[in-house]
């Protein structure tokens, strides 16, 4: 359903008639308050006048985003003024399209088709948060450590922005410097954030799919392996065997005190002989035994603990820098983040934090990677 918000009934009817030609269901309202009240049924698109005192397109977008932060509803704003500042304002608050009056209905229909075709569908997880409780720099760190691919949508009374991510790394905006773009978001003390994760799309490699075949019923199942690894007064039971469902695979399971603590899976090639399967089972079983001995080795445990301590120290320094930044103590924020960079010198997100803090202090920006 397409929602039209237009105080001029003649223009409203013109838009509705043109969209009905393309078989779109349409609902019309003359005021923004009426439109918001009717938005409990999620529209596919909202078309609103930007300049009328009744429709208030920009305010409508802001109120709609606050009321329904989980939605992806696109907006087209209409204006009878060709003042560039109005168009800039419309795009800044998150409009997906902007058209001038008098309307060319063919252009409007094409704009509607393009926006609805591009409308992205996301799958869970989707996260909605409050920037006053979880600042933007911390949100960046959250996405980086989890290598999120998707987008962050930031909405406040003064700013609307979308940040694209690929594997936890920001995709630079098409216009403007990344540091300048992010600096304004770092300063937000209030507002909402939505993190949407892109679903995986395997369309580009569909031709590479190999059909899974069931194993031959007359093939003799190879003998599995069972052993115990004793380390530091603990007994790890290691069991490796060939399974056939949902497909041929060699599965190794490690248990300690009756609880599964480790699983390893190997996939044999089709046509593998019984002798080759026996060798693969033996090899995987021994490899898992060696992995247990390596993990329980005191030197390895010490290295892991040291790494965990360093990670915890990094998090404390990073979070302290975020808190100092929110307090506008940019000098202390820079100091905390510089200490954190000694622990993780190749951290791209932290580098952006450092650049923004230096910019606030009027210091020269370090050379970006």
Distance from CA of residue 53 to its chain's centroid? 37
- Reported as half-sphere exposure (CB side, CA atoms, 13 A), residue 271 has a value of 0
Confidence bin at 90 (pLDDT 50/70/90): confident
Residue-wise pLDDT for 241-279, tens only, equals 888 766 778 999 998 887 888 889 888 877 778 888 888
pLDDT tens digits, 161-211: 888 888 888 887 765 678 888 888 998 988 888 888 876 656 566 666 655
End-to-end CA distance of the chain: 46
Cβ pair 239, 264 in contact under 8 A: no
Tell me the per-residue pLDDT of 48-80, one tens digit each, with 9 for 90 and over. 998 766 557 888 888 888 788 767 789 999 998
């Amino acid at each position: 359903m397409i929602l039209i918000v237009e105080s001029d009934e003649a223009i409203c009817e013109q838009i509705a008639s043109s969209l009905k030609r393309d078989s779109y269901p349409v609902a019309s309202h003359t005021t923004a308050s009426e439109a918001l009240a009717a938005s409990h049924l999620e529209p596919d698109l909202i078309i609103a006048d930007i300049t009328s005192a009744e429709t208030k397109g920009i305010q409508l977008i802001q109120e709609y985003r606050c009321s329904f932060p989980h939605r992806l509803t696109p907006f087209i704003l209409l204006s009878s003024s060709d003042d560039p500042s109005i168009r800039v304002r419309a795009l800044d608050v998150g409009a997906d399209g902007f058209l001038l009056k008098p309307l060319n209905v063919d252009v409007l229909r094409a704009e509607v088709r393009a926006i609805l075709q591009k409308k992205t569908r996301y799958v869970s997880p989707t996260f909605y948060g409050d920037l006053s409780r979880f600042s933007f720099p911390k949100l960046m760190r959250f996405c980086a450590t989890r290598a999120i691919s998707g987008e962050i949508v930031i909405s406040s009374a003064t700013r609307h922005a979308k940040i694209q991510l690929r594997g936890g790394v920001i995709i630079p905006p098409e216009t403007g410097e990344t540091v300048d773009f992010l600096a304004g978001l770092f300063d937000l003390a209030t507002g909402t954030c939505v993190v949407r994760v892109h679903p995986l799309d395997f369309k580009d490699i569909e031709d590479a799919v190999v059909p899974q075949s069931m194993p031959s019923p007359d093939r003799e199942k190879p003998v599995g392996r069972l052993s115990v690894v004793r380390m530091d007064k603990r007994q790890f039971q290691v069991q490796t065997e060939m399974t056939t469902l949902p497909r041929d695979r060699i599965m190794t399971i490690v248990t300690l005190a009756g609880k599964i603590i480790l699983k390893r899976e190997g996939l044999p090639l089709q046509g593998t002989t019984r002798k080759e399967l026996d060798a693969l089972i033996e090899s995987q079983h021994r490899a898992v035994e060696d992995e247990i001995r390596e993990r329980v080795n005191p030197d390895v445990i010490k290295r892991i603990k040291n790494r965990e301590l360093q990670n915890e120290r990094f998090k404390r320094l990073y979070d302290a820098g975020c808190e100092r930044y929110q307090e506008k103590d940019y000098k202390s924020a820079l100091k905390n983040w510089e200490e954190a960079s000694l622990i993780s010198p190749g951290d791209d997100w932290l580098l952006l934090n450092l650049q923004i803090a230096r910019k606030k202090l009027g210091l020269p920006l370090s050379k970006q990677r």
